Every structure is written in structure tokens, then in C-alpha cells.
Amino acid sequence: MSGGRRLLVIASDQDDYISLFRDVTIDGQKIEVEQAEWTHIQLSSYPHAGVVLSLAASTPVGSYKRNQSRIFRPDFVLIRMISHGLPTQDHRNLVYGLQHYNVPCINSLQSVISNFERPNMYGALRSIQQRLGKETFPLIEQYYYSGFQQMAMTPKYPIVVKVGHVHSGYGKTLLRSHQEFIDLASIIALHPDYCTTEPFINSAYDVRIQKIGDHYRAYRRTGSGWKGGVNALEDTPVTETYKMWADECSKLFGGMDILAIDVVHCSETNKDYIIELNECSIGLGKNHEIEDNNIIRDLVVKRMTEAFANKTIEPKQESSTTNAYKSLEVELINLENVKLEIEQSLKKANQKVAFLQGTNSELKKRNNAFFRRGFGFGFTFGVGFSTALLVSYLAYRWKKQ
């Protein structure tokens, strides 16, 4: 195990950040890297021991095998995975655990938590617009309703309604009349969600402005559906306006090192409208994925170096209670690994038993068939032999008479 700083990367198993950070050093020491998806993490936070993670066994990442559970105590975290999306993607409690001990993170945990809900993000964008003006920062107009009872006034139709916090096209619908809006309100009445409405913009294309550290990139995206599903993705020049928008957004929520702004270009007015802000879990364009991941790696090293400047890596003073908790957690991990080995052994044993039972059953069938054939032959032979003896005896008696 490395004596250097410990980095946790929360990312999909399809990505290989362990190889990306291999041989990376900080203050002359190699950093120790672990990667896991949210669903594979359990977390505790202690006053002296810090954040202690229990990482479940999972599929390999690159050449790194993860077939057993592990204990890991991160000094720094890189989040590259949605922490609050669909109901099966609600990992807020894990983020709160990182925040509990104030673990340094990219993006800042304040940023990640603030982006859990759509109104937080929109309110922050609106603060930029209020300072710079509508022409300089053209944020789309948006209405907010805390529940179905408030769903009355709307922008001019057609409108887009977004229900709850989710992104990626979920919970979003296009309405062309007030009657459709009333019908939707009757459905939202069955759920505790808030919703927002905004005017539908007939777009020629949309633009994603990406900023990672000090590096900018812009993509023009076209799609066949009104939601703007990407059919074509191409690089587009990063204008000074795009840079300014990205720089302003990067100052929000205590700092956003990784972000993307979604902009719609209206085909009717030839104007751009800022739709939303996305944080550190953004996807990367395939044509630049390797380069962008290298930029992310260098950014993490920079932030880790800043976070631990003039700080030596010393053993943490831990109370007997904390040590007891740690010992229990390590013991639990060991027991889980033993359990996994036993389950694998039992599985193999069951397979062997099933094979032997099948073999035994086949042998019984063969033996029964052999016995039936042998018994039939023996019975026939016995009857024939007995009959022959009886006939011989009767013939003998007849001759003597």
C-alpha cells in the first residue's frame, strides 16, 4: 500500500481512472487510487479517523481486480458520476457523509449538493443575470410551482414543463395548450414534486460549453426530437462570450472546476438562450475523451497539491472508540470476504453433488435394466431346467413300472 495521499474516484466501472492516475506523485510520493460506483460504497465519518469507506467487490477496472471488499479512507475525491438522478440514482447520503468530514473534492461538495435540485441551479444562474444584465447573460425565463395547486400562470404556449430535479430528458414534456397544462397538473397532483415551465424555443441547434480547469471546449449538437437528442456532435469555436459565461458559472457554489452550460440557439430570433448548468458528472465528447481525461488528471493533481501544501502525512490520533469502530469494520470486511469464498465453495460443491447425483441416477437405471434382464434369463433357465428334471423323473418311474 502506498504511503502517499489517497484519492477516491467515483465513476462508472466502464471508465478506467486507476490507470489514468498510475505513477502520479504528489510531494514525491505515489498517490493511492481507488475507483467505485456509488452503489458499491458504504460510508462512515468519525471525528479523528475521518471518512471510512467500505467498498463492495465489483468487476475489474482495466487490469485492477476488485473481487473482494475493501476498506478505504480518502484524502481527496473526484466525482464523475451522477449523485442524484432517477430514484435508483439517489446517493445524496454518501455526499453528505463526505461533507460531514469536509473532504476536499472536485467539484466542491457545496457545488455538488447545490446542484441536487433544479431551483438551486437556476437561482444561481439568475444571480449572474441580475449582475450582468439579460443581454449579456441571456438566461431563459422560467416559472416555478411548489405543487399542483399553484399551476396556473404560464409562459406563452408552447411551453416545456420539467417535473422535479432530474436531467437528461427525464420528467420533461412539451405542451401546446392550457388544457394540456391542466391535464398535466392533475397528474402531478399524485406526486409531491415541484415543477418548472419555460417557453419552448424552436432551435436550429444547441451548444454545450465545457470548462475543465482553465481549458474550454464547445460543441454544436443537432437532434431530430424537440428534446434535442444528439444526432450529430461537432466542435465549434469557443467565443469570448462562451468563455465569459463559463468563467462566471465556475465561480458559483464555492467553485466549479468541471462544468458544462447548455445553450439553445433560436432559429426564429437568431439568439442564444442559456438553459441549464451541469456539474462534474458531465459526459465527455468521444473525439476528445482521452485529452479531456488527461486534463482532469492534471487538475486533480493541482487541487490535491494545493489542499495538502505544507501538510505532512502523519498517522491520525484516534480514540479507542474510533479504533474499535475501525476494527469492527475491518472484521466485517474480512467476514464478508470469507462469506464470499464459502459461497463460491458451496456453489462448486453443489455443482459436484448435482453431477454425482446425475451419475448415480444413470448407474441405477443401468443396474435396474441389467437386473431385469438377468432375472428374466435366470427365471426362464430355472423353469426350463426344473421341467427337464421332472420329465426325466417321470420317464424313469414309468420305465420301472
Domain end: 229, 257, 279, which one? 279
Domain end: 183, 200, 217, which one? 200
- Confirm if 76 and 103 have CB atoms less than 8 A apart: yes
CATH code, domain with 54:
3.40.50.20
Residue 28, helix vs strand vs coil = coil
What whole-number distance in Å separates Cα of residue 94 and Cα of residue 381?
83
Domain that residue 84 falls in:
6-107+291-321
β partners of residue 312: none
Q: Is residue 135 located within the same domain as residue 262? A: yes
Fill in the DSSP letter of residue 158: S
Residue 262 belongs to a domain? yes
Alpha carbon separation from 7 to 34, 179, 303 (Å, rounded): 6, 53, 12
**Number of domains forming the structure of the chain:** 3
What whole-number distance in Å separates Cα of residue 169 and Cα of residue 333?
39
Q: Is residue 124 located within the same domain as residue 259? A: yes
- Confirm if 180 and 234 have CB atoms less than 8 A apart: no
Q: Is residue 131 located within the same domain as residue 45? A: no
Q: Is residue 262 located within the same domain as residue 130? A: yes
Burial of 160 (0-12, 13-18, 19+ CB in 10 A): buried
Residue 222 belongs to a domain? yes
CATH code, domain with 163:
3.30.1490.20
Q: Is residue 25 located within the same domain as residue 66? A: yes
Residue 338 belongs to a domain? no
pLDDT in the model for residue 346: 78
- Confirm if 225 and 200 have CB atoms less than 8 A apart: no
Cell numbers standing for residue 135: 443581454
Residue 85 belongs to a domain? yes
Specify the pTM: 0.77
CATH code, domain with 256:
3.30.470.20
Residue 286 belongs to a domain? no
Q: Is residue 170 located within the same domain as residue 297? A: no
Q: Is residue 165 located within the same domain as residue 30? A: no
Q: Which residues contact 52 (CB under 8 A, 6 or more apart)?
A: 43, 44, 45, 46, 71, 72, 73, 325, 326, 329
Q: Which residues contact 54 (CB under 8 A, 6 or more apart)?
A: 41, 42, 43, 44, 69, 70, 71, 329, 332, 333
What whole-number distance in Å separates Cα of residue 274 and Cα of residue 122?
10
pLDDT in the model for residue 214: 97
Residue 343 belongs to a domain? no
Residue 397 belongs to a domain? no
The per-residue pLDDT string of the chain (401 residues; one tens digit each, 9 = 90 and over) reads: 446 899 999 999 999 999 999 999 998 899 999 999 999 999 999 998 899 999 999 988 887 888 899 999 999 999 999 999 888 889 999 999 999 999 999 999 999 999 999 999 999 999 999 999 999 999 999 999 999 999 988 889 999 999 998 877 788 999 999 999 999 999 999 989 999 999 999 988 999 999 999 999 999 988 767 776 566 789 999 999 999 999 999 999 989 999 999 999 998 999 999 999 999 999 999 999 999 999 999 999 999 999 998 676 544 444 444 455 555 555 566 566 556 667 767 777 777 777 777 776 766 676 666 555 655 555 565 656 666 666 566 666 666 65
Write out the H or E segment, with its range, that includes residue 329: helix 320-400
Q: Is residue 193 located within the same domain as residue 206? A: no
Residue 115, helix vs strand vs coil = coil
Neighbouring CB atoms inside 10 A of 122's CB total 19
